[in-house]
Structure 1
Amino acid sequence: MIRFVFRMLSLVALALAVMAASLDAIQSVAASTPVLTPLAVAWSAVSPESIAFVADTLMNRVHPVLWDPATLWVLSQPAAIVLLVLALLLWMIGYKRRPFAGRFTA
């Protein structure tokens, strides 16, 4: 059951990555220069309350060190790349390896 949840989350992250890459491609063609939207800009455009909630939770309840260097660096990266990496990590967690000996072993 838990593998299914990780695979579905991976599918959602992959779909979001494709949408972010498509928007960046459309903007790049329109501007005639490469456009890569940072994750913070894309996230705050979709849901500014949730990014403020995550920032508040990390700074006040977890530890401020997690917000400053690590999270701000991730938020400054292109949204499509971050979502692709997240989809890959979630897929790897939910991956079921094939049996070593084969399908029809006892």
Structure 2
Amino acid sequence: MIRAFLRLLAYISLSLAIIAAVLDAARSVGASRLVMTSLRDSWQSFSPSTLVPAEDYIRSHLYPMLWDPLMLWIFETPTFIIFAALAFVLYALGHRREQRAGRFAAR
């Protein structure tokens, strides 16, 4: 049950990564230069009222020194890369491993 939920989240993340990549590609064609939207910019355009509370929560509840090196780097990374990596991790966690023994092997 949990593996199926993780795979569902992986598929949703992959869908969001593809949508973000297509939007960046369309913007790049329109601007005649490479355009990659950062996660902060995407979040700001999608839900600006939740960005500041999320930043405050991360700063206060998680290790404060984690904010500067890691979270700032994540927020400046292109959106499609973040969602593609998240999809990969979620799918790896929800992957059903094949049995080592063959179909007709004795167990």
Normalising by structure 1, we get a TM-score of 0.93
Structure 1 residues 104 and 53: CA distance shift in structure 2, 3 A: farther
> Residues 51-85 of structure 1, C-alpha deviation per residue, up to 9 Å, x if partnerless?
22221111112221121110110110111111101
Distance 2:9 2:50 in 1: 18
User: Percentage identity across aligned positions?
Assistant: 40
> Residues 5-33 of structure 1, C-alpha deviation per residue, up to 9 Å, x if partnerless?
11011011001001100100000100111
Normalising by structure 2, we get a TM-score of 0.92
Q: How many residues align?
A: 106
Deviation at 1:50, TM superposition (A): 2.3
Match of 1:20, SS? Answer: helix
| 1:8 maps to 2:8 | yes
Structure 1 segments, 4+ long, off by >6 Å, are none
Distance 1:103 1:49 in 2: 54
Higher mean alpha-carbon deviation, 47-56 vs 67-76, is at 47-56
Deviation at 1:37, TM superposition (A): 0.6
Deviation at 1:104, TM superposition (A): 4.2
Q: What code does the residue aligned with 2:25 have?
A: A
Distance 1:19 1:31 in 2: 18
Q: What code does the residue aligned with 2:42 have?
A: A
